[in-house]
Structure 1
Amino acid sequence: MHLLIVIGTRPNFIKVTRFRKVMDAIPGAKLTLVHTGQHYDKAMSQVFFDQFDLRPDHVLKLHPGSAGLQFAHMIAQLVEVMEKAEPDFVLVPGDVNSTLAGALAAQRLGIPLGHLEAGLRSFDRSMPEEINRILVDQLSAHHFVTEDSGMTHLKDEGLDQGGNVHFVGNTMIDTLVHFSPQIDQSPILSDLGLGAGEDFHLLTMHRPATVDNREGCQFIVDLLQNLCASAPVVFPIHPRTQKNLESFGLADVLEHPGLKRTPPMDYFAFQHLISTAKTVVTDSGGIQEETTYRHVPCITLRPNTERPSTTTLGTNQMLTELNVADVMHAIDNPKEGVVPPLWDGHATERIVDVIRNL
C-alpha cells in the first residue's frame, strides 16, 4: 500500500502527524508526504515539521505570480509528483487551496482519492474554504468524516453511495493526545510572566472578514480593552491583523499593560495556552475543536461554523455579531460540553485501516 498525502498549511500539518508512525508499523506500507508550500515561511511551516517530525518527501516551489497562477502551478507540480510516485491512494485533508489542488491532480491521473474532514459545511459560499470543501467531496471516492454533521451532509448531497463514507473521528485530536507530554511541559506561561493557575484570556483573530476593515479592527481594540480589565490577555497576533491595526491607526492598543502580545507561536506552546486559559475568543475553525476536547470555554466570532458538534456537544458558543457586550456576557456564562464521538486519538489508525482494506 502506497499512500500519498498532500498538505500545505499549518492547520493541515496538525491533521497528519500520526500517519507516518501508523504506516511504519505495517509491513510493505509506504507514505509519501507532499508539502505544496502554501504556508512557506519558517514560522508557518518548518517549526511545525520540527516538532512533529513530519519530514515531507517533496516540497513544491511556490509560483511568484498571482493567486490563480500559484494554484495552476501547484496542480501541475502535484501531477508531476504523483506520476513519478505512483501511489495507490491520495489523501487530502481540510479545505484550503492545497486540498483542492491535490484532489484535482489525483482525479486527473485516475488515482483513488480520499477527503479527510469530508462533509463539513458552513453553507456560506462567500468563503473560499466552503467552495473547496464542496468540490473536493464531489471529486473524492472515499470520505473520512470527523463528526455527525458530515455524515448528514454527504447523504443529503447524494455522496453516500454505500461503503464510501467512513466515520473515523478527528485526526487533530490524535495529535493532541500523542503530544500531550510535550504540550504539558511547555514553559510558555512562565515565559509570558503568568503564574500557574492564573486566569487569562486567549485571543486569536485573523480572518479577512474580521480584520480587513476598520469596523472589525475597532472591535478588536474595544474587545481587548474590556478583556484586559478582567484578566490578562494573551494575543498571538497574526501578521495580517497587526498590519491592518497599524494601517487604520489603531495599533496603540497593542501596548496595553494587560496585553501579552506574541508573534504566531509553535504548536506545543499554543496548545498549552489553550489548555490553561479561562476563555478562548477566536474566529478560527480548528480552535473550536481543540477547546471542546480540552473542555475549555470557547467564544467563536463568526456568522457560521462548519463544525457544529462543537456547539451542540462541546464548549463552543457562536456569536454572529461583533458585539463586545455579547462577548463579555458569554465569558461570564461559559458553556459546558462533552467530547464528540470517536475524538479519542485513534482516527489515523481507522483511516489507514480503511485504505489498506480497499
Structure 2
Amino acid sequence: MTKVVTILGARPQFIKAGSVSREFAKYDNFKEIIVHTGQHYDANMSDVFFDEMKIPKPDYFLGIGGKSHGAMTGQMIEKIEEVLLNEKPDWVLVYGDTNSTLAGAIAASKLHIKVAHIEAGLRSFNMKMPEEVNRILTDRISSILFCPTQTAIDNLQSEGVDKWNTQVELSGDVMQDGAIFYRDLAEKPPGLTLDREFILSTIHRAENTDSEKRLTAIVESLNEIAEQIAVVLPLHPRTKIKLEALSVKLSSKVTLIDPVGYLNMVWLIDNCKLVMTDSGGLQKEAFFFEKPCITLRDETEWVELVINNFNTLVGADKAAIISAFKEHTFSNDFSIDLYGNGFASNNIANALINYEK
C-alpha cells in the first residue's frame, strides 16, 4: 500500500489535484490523505464545490491564512508536521508554488518523508516573486520532480539537478487533464447575455493592480479594443478597488461580471475568441481550448507558448497591447503536444507506485 499526504492551500490547487486524486482512486493499493492548509479561504469552497467539481473533500483543515508570509509558512510547517507524524505517509505531494507548497515540503523533509512536487522546474526568473522562491526551494528538497514541460526540465538541468538526489519526470501538465475532464461540465455564467464574439480578459496580479501607470495603460487598451469587439472582464475584488481609484474609467462597452467559478471560467475560455490576461494558469488554459493569448506581463513561466506563437508578451504597454490585438498573427496549429495531452495524472500515479529509490 502506497500512502500519500497531499498538501493544498488554494482553490486552483484543489482543481489541479482533483485530476490526480481521480487517478489515485483507480488503484486498490493507493491511499491519499488530503490536507487543506486554509491559505486562501474561499467561501465558495463548500461541500457543493467539491461535489460539483468531483474532487475529494479534505481530511484535514488547518485554518491557517490571512497572515504574513513568514507567520503563515511557519505555522503551516508546525501543523503539517503534526499531521505527518499521525499519518506516517510514504509520500508528501505538493503542487506549484504557494506558501502551503513550501511548508509541506519542509515539514516532510525534516521528518525524512519523500516529497513529490507537481509543476516542478517552472521559473519566471523574477526573485521578487514569493512564488519563485517557493518553487525553487521546494524543487531542491523533493525526491521526485514532476515537470509539466521540457522547458521545466531544462531549467532544472541548468541549476545542476543531475547532482541532486532526485528523480526528474516529464509528466505533462495536470491542468490539461482537468481541462479535458471539465469541458463537458462547463456552465455559462449566470446573467451573461452576450450573444456575439468576445475577448476574455482577467487582471489580478499585484504588478499590474498596484501600479497606477500599468493599470491605466491596460484599462485604456481594453477601452479601445472594446470599440471593435466585446470584452468580458470577471472583476477580481482587489482589481475592483484599484480601478475605483484611477482617474481613467473602464468603458461601458467592457462587460464587467463578478468573479466566476471554475466551470463558468471554462465556459468563457471555450467560447471566447481571444484571451488577454496576467494570469499564469489562464495562459495554458487558452492553449488547451485552442485560443490565442495576449499576456499582460513582462515574463511568463510558460515560454513554450510564446516560442510556438500561441501567446505573446506585451507587459502593460498600451501600444504593444493594441498592436498585438490588431496585428499579431498567432499560430492556429494546436495539434502540437506541449503538455502531455491529458495523461499527466496517470504518469504521476505510476511513477509514485513504481518508485524504487
**1:255-266 alignment, distance < 5 Å:** 256-266=251-261
Counterparts of 2:16 and 2:46 in 1: how far apart (Å)? 14
- The DSSP-based 3-state class of the residue aligned with 2:105 is helix
Counterparts of 2:42 and 2:314 in 1: how far apart (Å)? 32
Quickly say closer, same or farther: Cα 1:157–1:75, change in 2 above 3 A. Answer: same
> How far has the Cα of 1:118 moved from its partner?
0.8
**Which digits, 9 at most, give the CA deviation of each residue in 1:178-229, with x for residues without a partner?**
122112xx233x731112xx21111101111111121122123212211211
> How far has the Cα of 1:154 moved from its partner?
1.2
Counterparts of 1:248 and 1:272 in 2: how far apart (Å)? 30
Q: Which runs of 5+ in 2 are unaligned?
A: none
- The DSSP-based 3-state class of the residue aligned with 1:26 is coil
The aligned residue for residue 180 of structure 2 is 177
> How far has the Cα of 1:291 moved from its partner?
0.9
Counterparts of 1:249 and 1:145 in 2: how far apart (Å)? 44
> How far has the Cα of 1:342 moved from its partner?
4.6
Quickly say closer, same or farther: Cα 1:298–1:16, change in 2 above 3 A. Answer: same
The aligned residue for residue 319 of structure 2 is 325
- The DSSP-based 3-state class of the residue aligned with 1:160 is helix
> How far has the Cα of 1:100 moved from its partner?
0.6
Within the candidate set 108, 111, 119, 1:109 is matched to 111
The aligned residue for residue 138 of structure 2 is 136
> How far has the Cα of 1:325 moved from its partner?
2.6
Question: Is residue 315 of structure 2 the alignment partner of residue 312 of structure 1?
Answer: no
The aligned residue for residue 21 of structure 2 is 20
Q: Which AA in structure 1 matches 2:228?
A: S
8 Å Cα contact 2:188-2:268 kept in structure 1? no
8 Å Cα contact 1:314-1:340 kept in structure 2? no
RMSD: 1.9
Q: Which AA in structure 1 matches 2:319?
A: A
- The DSSP-based 3-state class of the residue aligned with 2:227 is helix
**1:48-67 alignment, distance < 5 Å:** 48-54=49-55, 55-62=57-64, 65-67=67-69
Counterparts of 2:309 and 2:92 in 1: how far apart (Å)? 31
> How far has the Cα of 1:167 moved from its partner?
0.4
Q: Which AA in structure 1 matches 2:220?
A: D
Higher alpha-carbon deviation: 281-290 or 240-249? 240-249
Higher alpha-carbon deviation: 212-221 or 261-270? 212-221
Within the candidate set 236, 239, 242, 2:240 is matched to 242
The aligned residue for residue 35 of structure 2 is 34
- The DSSP-based 3-state class of the residue aligned with 1:33 is strand
The aligned residue for residue 340 of structure 2 is 343
> How far has the Cα of 1:334 moved from its partner?
3.8
> How far has the Cα of 1:46 moved from its partner?
6.4
> How far has the Cα of 1:30 moved from its partner?
0.4
**Which digits, 9 at most, give the CA deviation of each residue in 1:28-50, with x for residues without a partner?**
31011111111112146766534
Counterparts of 1:227 and 1:317 in 2: how far apart (Å)? 17
8 Å Cα contact 1:48-1:266 kept in structure 2? no
The aligned residue for residue 191 of structure 1 is 191
* TM-score, scaled relative to structure 2: 0.92
Quickly say closer, same or farther: Cα 1:123–1:257, change in 2 above 3 A. Answer: same
Quickly say closer, same or farther: Cα 1:63–1:317, change in 2 above 3 A. Answer: closer
Counterparts of 2:339 and 2:296 in 1: how far apart (Å)? 26
Quickly say closer, same or farther: Cα 1:193–1:64, change in 2 above 3 A. Answer: closer
Counterparts of 1:45 and 1:286 in 2: how far apart (Å)? 23
> How far has the Cα of 1:335 moved from its partner?
1.0
Q: Which AA in structure 1 matches 2:125?
A: F
> How far has the Cα of 1:102 moved from its partner?
0.8
The aligned residue for residue 286 of structure 1 is 281
* TM-score, scaled relative to structure 1: 0.92
Counterparts of 1:148 and 1:63 in 2: how far apart (Å)? 34
- The DSSP-based 3-state class of the residue aligned with 1:78 is helix
Quickly say closer, same or farther: Cα 1:236–1:119, change in 2 above 3 A. Answer: same
**Which digits, 9 at most, give the CA deviation of each residue in 1:144-179, with x for residues without a partner?**
010111111111111135870000100001011112
Higher alpha-carbon deviation: 226-235 or 310-319? 310-319
8 Å Cα contact 1:298-1:316 kept in structure 2? yes
Counterparts of 2:67 and 2:10 in 1: how far apart (Å)? 19
Counterparts of 2:123 and 2:130 in 1: how far apart (Å)? 12
- The DSSP-based 3-state class of the residue aligned with 2:283 is helix
8 Å Cα contact 1:94-1:116 kept in structure 2? yes
- The DSSP-based 3-state class of the residue aligned with 1:306 is coil
Identity %: 35
- The DSSP-based 3-state class of the residue aligned with 2:162 is coil
The aligned residue for residue 229 of structure 1 is 227
> How far has the Cα of 1:93 moved from its partner?
0.7
The aligned residue for residue 82 of structure 2 is 80
Q: Which runs of 5+ in 1 are unaligned?
A: none
Q: Which AA in structure 1 matches 2:38?
A: G
Aligned length: 349
8 Å Cα contact 2:105-2:141 kept in structure 1? yes
> How far has the Cα of 1:65 moved from its partner?
4.6
